[in-house]
Amino acid sequence: VNIILLGPPGAGKGTQARLLVEGRGLVQLSTGDMLREARNSGTEMGNLVAAVMDRGELVTDEIVVGLIREKIAGSDAPGFIFDGFPRTLAQADALAALMDEIGQRIDAVIEMQVDDAALVSRISGRYTCGNCGEVYHDDTKPTKVPGVCDVCGSTDLRRRADDNAESLRTRLLEYYKKTSPLIGYYYANRLLRTVDGLAEIDQVAAQIDGILNRID
Ligand code: AP5
Ligand code: ZN
């Protein structure tokens, strides 16, 4: 199955994607992670997008569609979880065309509903393992041993440069202006499913599981 996780910054897309990778062997395709990787390795493209990302604006459709194309071409994955992509109607059309090219389709678009007030505390409490990518939160999901990743033992725990109040405001505006129209688009395509993203992590995972079980 191929699914899209759709929701505002901090909705829990990355958290749920990682659980699906573990539980179902699907492959997570996070354009945010790919762009951060490009920045960290200092590629030309990475340098180009750094300032845009830190401000909280979207990078161009060409760049992210190119990244996704590279990942799905020739992949023998049993299915993809698109996390943070598509984010514009143009990206959604491009994804449909890419899936056509490889003879596959999107099976469900899972909208993670949360209210904006919750997002501020989610984003401001977030930190991530720089080695394995596990996502933590100061209050709702701290590491068991302070400063040490539960999954891989790394002490390289990081906060993101765009996780500040000013960039979050821009990210939310970008979401409402450019990404939220996708909800109507996928509803009309009969692919939209909704989960309560305010529930606890396990309960959100259970809701997503229920949706996927009805597809298989
Ligand atoms: P990206 O990396 O995609 O960031 P985002 O969409 O802002 O999403 P986040 O990673 O902030 O949130 P999330 O929903 O994954 O939440 P998480 O699971 O971490 O994009 C970054 C930037 O890259 C963009 O601003 C843009 O510049 C660029 N970009 C990326 N894709 C692009 C595209 N397609 N087109 C153009 N530009 C693009 O959870 C958040 C926190 O909450 C964590 O601390 C977590 O532990 C906690 N948490 C999660 N679930 C729960 C729960 N149920 N209960 C309590 N706490 C929870
Ligand atoms: Zn780790």
* Predicted pLDDT of residue 206: 98
Do residues 95 and 64 make contact, with C-beta atoms less than 8 angstroms apart? no
Beta strands in 31-154 (DSSP E): 80-83, 108-113, 126-129, 135-137
* Predicted pLDDT of residue 75: 87
* Predicted pLDDT of residue 74: 82
**Distance in Å, CA 125 to ligand 1 centroid:** 12
Question: What's the DSSP call for residue 144?
Answer: S
Position 11, amino acid:
A
- φ and ψ at residue 70, rounded to 5 degrees: -55, -40
Q: Read out DSSP for 1-56?
A: --EEEE-STTSSHHHHHHHHHHHH-PEEEEHHHHHHHHHHTT-HHHHHHHHHHHHT
- Measure CA of the first residue to CA of the last residue in the chain; give whole Å: 8
| Gap between the Cα atoms of 90 and 4, Å rounded | 15
* Predicted pLDDT of residue 216: 64
Q: Which residues line ligand 1 (CB under 6 A)?
A: 7, 9-15, 31-32, 35, 52-53, 56-59, 64, 84-85, 87, 91, 122, 125-126, 135-137, 140-141, 162, 171, 199-201, 204
Q: Is 158 a catalytic residue?
A: no
Q: Could you give the ipTM of this predicted complex?
A: 0.96
Question: What's the DSSP call for residue 23?
Answer: H
Question: How do the pLDDT tens digits run along the chain, 216 residues long?
Answer: 999 999 999 999 999 999 999 999 999 999 999 999 999 999 999 999 999 999 999 999 999 999 999 999 888 899 999 999 999 999 999 999 999 999 999 999 999 999 998 999 999 999 999 999 999 999 999 999 999 999 999 999 999 999 998 999 999 999 999 999 999 999 999 999 999 999 999 999 999 999 999 986
pTM for the model stands at 0.96
Do residues 20 and 26 make contact, with C-beta atoms less than 8 angstroms apart? yes
**Distance in Å, CA 83 to ligand 1 centroid:** 8
Which of 31, 34, 27 minimizes the C-alpha distance to 2? 27
**Residues within 5 Å of ion ligand 2, judged at the Cβ atom:** 129, 131-132, 134, 149, 151-152, 154
